[in-house]
């Protein structure tokens, strides 16, 4: 699931990747989640997001993770991380929350500024798309 506001963009699994790396500096997360072209076309048909030529893409690069549980990040913390929702332009994420359940389900949510409007977003990835095995509550 990849939602922005009340709209579901689906997920193109062939273009979606989650990588979890560990080093002596700590754990890092890299995420690239692409929405579905078919789902965007469906939204365009009903007049929503008709200005968008491509589905949204959430990307987060080298986000430092805590050892366990949920992680919340503020705008100031995100300023040191490459992260945005790309939808015709790079739209900044101003709040971010990440959690992983024992089942391996990865939840990413927050607030993104798209065309000057703050909007909620949510991405839920099943365990087979995530290699974040040690990031558990």
**Residue 136 domain-assigned?**
no
**Residue 134 domain-assigned?**
no
Q: Which tens digits make up the pLDDT trace of 89-115?
A: 999 999 999 887 777 788 999 999 998
**Residue 135 domain-assigned?**
no
Domain that holds residue 32: 2-129
**Residue 34 domain-assigned?**
yes
**Residue 94 domain-assigned?**
yes
Q: Which tens digits make up the pLDDT trace of 27-69?
A: 788 999 999 999 999 998 888 898 999 999 999 998 887 666 6
**Residue 63 domain-assigned?**
yes
- The kind and range of the H/E element at 66 are none
**Residue 120 domain-assigned?**
yes
Q: State the total domains in the chain.
A: 1
């Amino acid at each position: 699931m990849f939602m922005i506001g009340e709209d579901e963009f689906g997920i193109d699994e062939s273009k979606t990747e989650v990588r979890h790396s560990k080093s002596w500096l700590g754990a890092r997360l890299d995420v690239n989640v692409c929405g579905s072209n078919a789902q965007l076309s469906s939204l365009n048909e009903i007049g929503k997001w008709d200005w968008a030529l491509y589905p949204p893409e959430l990307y987060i690069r080298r986000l430092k993770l805590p050892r366990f549980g949920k992680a919340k990040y503020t705008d100031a913390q995100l300023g040191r991380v490459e992260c945005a929702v790309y939808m015709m332009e790079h739209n900044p994420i101003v709040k971010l929350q990440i959690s992983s359940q024992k089942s391996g389900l990865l939840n990413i949510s927050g607030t993104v500024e798209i065309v000057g409007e703050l909007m909620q977003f949510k991405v839920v990835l099943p365990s087979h798309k995530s290699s974040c095995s040690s990031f558990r509550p």
